[in-house]
Amino acid sequence: MQCVCAEGYGGVRCERLTGSIGETSSQNISCAGEPFEFACRNGTIRVEYASYGAAEGYACSPQLVSVRQTCSNPNSLKTITNKCEGLNYCTVQELKEVFPETPCPVQNELFLHYRFTCSEDRQSVCASGAFYMSGRCFVVNTKKKRLSFSESQQTCRKQGGYLASNIDASMDAEVTREVVRQGKDGDGFWIDLKVNAEGNPLWSDGSSLTYR
């Protein structure tokens, strides 16, 4: 269960007044057709609420912040937590690429309703089998079954995550070291990078690769 908070309240269960020392809270709307971004000047992002869906009959607008969605993606909270939790800055060029299986039929009604807190406490602990790096948890999937690119994306999404994406050169080097350490000769691993019609590498949310 997730809670939509009244103005002036925050927390996972709306249990605290916002504006506590060392923290700020923000509950907002981001339309599916626009790039999503959120930044913390101080501290890191803590995801308290996230629901990607639609309120039937309403086109997306910031005024929907107090309107209940009538349909939503059941993996919204897990997906956004894995995407943004622990970071200073989180951006998604196209939300529809992150939530391709959302059961809402009208594209211009889709939006992400979210509540983030900027906290000075860093999250640095990951689930068993994962490793922590730059505010995110990574897992090297060494299962024997060979998966296609789309099958790999779906497998990650079912677990509330996504294929490794939007990483820089130093993160790429660390992921590569873990792949070499955990993998075997002949193994292959997918990341969420594609090449467009012009031959330029892009992450699946539409952002550019920042290193070669």
Cβ contacts of 129 within 8 Å, gap of 6 or more: 139
pLDDT exceeds cutoff 80 at 27 = no
Residue 160 has a pLDDT of: 66
**107-121: average pLDDT:** 84
Buried b vs exposed e over 181-212: b needs ≥16 C-beta within 10 Å?
Answer: eeeeeeeebbbbbeeeeeeeebbbbeeebeee
Rounded Cα distance between 52 and 68, Å, is 11
Which of 104, 123, 142 is at the close of a domain?
123
Q: Which of 123, 158, 191 is the last residue of a domain?
A: 123
User: Is 203 found in the same domain as 166?
Assistant: yes
Taking residue 61's Cβ as centre, other Cβ atoms within 10 Å add up to 11
Instruction: Tell me the mean pLDDT in the region 41-60.
Output: 86
**Does 133 lie in the same domain as 117?**
no
Among 100-114, 135-149, 153-167, 186-200, which stretch is predicted with the lowest mean pLDDT?
Answer: 153-167
Residue 24 has pLDDT above 90, yes or no: no
Per-residue pLDDT at 14: 76
The pLDDT of residue 111 is 93
CB atoms within 10 A of CB 83: 23
pLDDT (0 to 100) of residue 19: 60
Query: Do 9 and 110 fall into the same domain?
Result: yes
In angstroms, the first-to-last Cα distance of the chain is 42
**Among residues of the chain, what percentage have pLDDT more than 90?**
10
Nearest to 5 by CA among 31, 26, 36, 30: 26
Same domain, 102 and 160: no
Task: Please give the mean pLDDT across all residues of the chain.
Answer: 82
Top-confidence range, 6-10, 22-26, 34-38, 156-160: 34-38
Domain boundary among 94, 123, 152: 123
Domain that holds residue 157: 124-211
Residue 199 confidence class, pLDDT cut points 50, 70, 90: confident
pLDDT digits (tens, 9 = 90+) for 80-97: 998 888 887 888 888 888
Assess whether 148 and 115 both reside in one domain.
Answer: no
For 65, the 3-state DSSP assignment is: helix
List all residues 6 or more positions away from 61 whose beta carbon is below 8 Å from its beta carbon. Answer: 29, 31
CB atoms within 10 A of CB 71: 17
Mean pLDDT of 184-192: 86
Which of 10, 48, 18, 45 lies closest to 120, judged by CA? 45
Report whether 104 contacts 32 (CB < 8 A). no
* CA atoms of 185 and 166, how far apart (whole Å): 26
* Of 18-32, 64-78, 150-164, 169-183, minimum mean pLDDT range: 18-32
pLDDT computed for residue 122 by the predictor: 54
> What integer pLDDT is reported at residue 113 of this predicted model?
92
Considering its fold, how many domains does the chain have in total?
Answer: 2
pLDDT score, position 34? 86
Helix (H) and strand (E) counts in the chain: 4, 12
Q: What mean pLDDT do residues 35-50 have? A: 85
pTM of the model: 0.58
Is there a single domain that holds both residue 113 and residue 173? no
Same domain, 139 and 94: no
Instruction: Using the predicted structure, report yes or no on whether residue 178 has a pLDDT greater than 80.
Output: yes
Residues 176 and 87 both lie in one domain: no
